[in-house]
Amino acid sequence: MSIGEFDLVEQIRRLASDRPDVVLGIGDDAALVAPPPGMQLALSTDTLNSGVHFPAETAPFAIGWKALAVNLSDMAAMGAIPAWCTLSLALPDADSLWLSEFMRGFGTLARRHQVALAGGDTTRGPLSIGVHIIGFVPPGLALRRDAAQVGDDIWVSGHLGDAAAALSLWRADQAIPDALRSRLECPTPRIALGQALRGIAHAALDISDGLLADLGHICAASQLGAEVHLENLPTSSALLALTVDTDTRLQWQASGGDDYELCFTAAPCQRTAIARLADTLALPLTRIGQIQATPSIRPFYRNHPWQPRQAGHEHFCEDKSDACKAPLR
């Protein structure tokens, strides 16, 4: 069903999530919110473009979910509590059925994490979804990329490589096991983990572009290096069940993107606290390496240096090799 822009916005307004500290939500020239006194605000934005960040045929529920999930993941990576967001939608046509499924995906995750959709913008154009998110964090406690220390353990949450495996099967037109598909389409932002790591972790980020590339950001910001032992990477049973050679699996796990797990560093004296956290959250937390003074990332597999085929995804990459074929983030 095709409708006008006003009706689209009205449909979004009816389906939007809310929370009590939104003083004025959708409908005016700007939203008004009441931040908790004494907190620092954490601001972030991420855009998903059709054909770049998700295959064009992706179900609208999954697109809505993922558009918010990748932004929530940034809040998680900062140890921030997400609160409000805005939504910039460019739609090729005004399809009310598409929009209601999109909003169901977006809203399910928004309500799960008590995030209000407080405003946005709706235009016509190639399908693109931009989300701005705002959260808060106690002063001085945010998890930053530049705070890793020599001797820190390197940890990752959950399992790595599922999303990259799903994308690879998708591109090859092969059947995708549900467990892998849902990790690509509907990733789980590690909000509770991020907040619990405040005061435990030194540095953290979320893995969107591939473990080694993202860990490189922590090392560059902290002016340090790292050794990573890939035989320790946490692997899901769904990924293990695929019949692929070890190197292909390791490429997905070490360099594939879209996992939205957290990678963090912490002093060795925090191992017990982190193990307890894994139990409490029922989320695997796995030690995979160590921060060192020598710059650069050194991956090993069973004590042999290991070569990634690609460093990770980069936007506006000139090279047309596999590394640059999408999804570019």
Binding-site ranges for ligand ADP (CB under 6 A): 9, 12, 26-29, 87, 89, 117, 119-122
Pairing verdict, β 225-229 and 296-301: parallel
Q: Which residue is nearest to Mg ion (CB)?
A: 29
29 sits near Mg ion (criterion: CB under 5 A): yes
Give the pair of three-digit tokens for residue 309.
């085929």
Q: Which three-class secondary structure state does DSSP give residue 292?
A: strand
Closest CA to 187 of 105, 247, 272, 275: 105
Q: Which three-class secondary structure state does DSSP give residue 290?
A: strand
93 sits near Mg ion (criterion: CB under 5 A): no
- Name residue, tokens 């999530």: 17
Q: Identify what 210 binds: Mg ion, ligand ADP, none; CB under 5 to 8 Å per kind.
A: none
User: How many residues of this chain bind Mg ion (CB under 5 A)?
Assistant: 1
Give CA–CA dist 242/248, Å, rounded.
11
Find the shortest distance in angstroms from Cβ 226 to ligand ADP.
40
Give CA–CA dist 214/220, Å, rounded.
10
22-30, 34-42, 240-248, 289-297 -> range binding Mg ion (CB under 5 A):
22-30
Q: Is residue 226 a contact partner of residue 289, using CB atoms and an 8 Å limit?
A: yes
Find the shortest distance in angstroms from Cβ 186 to ligand ADP.
20
23-31, 46-54, 128-136, 244-252 -> range binding Mg ion (CB under 5 A):
23-31
Find the shortest distance in angstroms from Cβ 24 to Mg ion.
13
Find the shortest distance in angstroms from Cβ 57 to ligand ADP.
22
Find the shortest distance in angstroms from Cβ 29 to Mg ion.
4
Q: What is the DSSP string of 116-177?
A: EEEEEEEEESSSEEEEEEEEEE-TT---BGGG--TT-EEEEES-SSHHHHHHHHHHTT----
Find the shortest distance in angstroms from Cβ 64 to ligand ADP.
11
Find the shortest distance in angstroms from Cβ 125 to Mg ion.
19
Nearer residue to Mg ion within complex by CB, 29 or 93: 29
29-37, 222-230, 261-269, 291-299 -> range binding Mg ion (CB under 5 A):
29-37
Nearer residue to ligand ADP within complex by CB, 120 or 210: 120
CB environment 191-218: b (16+ within 10 A), e (fewer): bebbbbbbebbbbbbbbbbbbbbbbbbb
Closest CA to 16 of 111, 95, 155: 111
Q: Identify what 122 binds: Mg ion, ligand ADP, none; CB under 5 to 8 Å per kind.
A: ligand ADP
Q: Identify what 133 binds: ligand ADP, Mg ion, none; CB under 5 to 8 Å per kind.
A: none
Q: Identify what 119 binds: ligand ADP, Mg ion, none; CB under 5 to 8 Å per kind.
A: ligand ADP
Give CA–CA dist 85/103, Å, rounded.
14
Binding site for Mg ion (CB under 5 A): 29
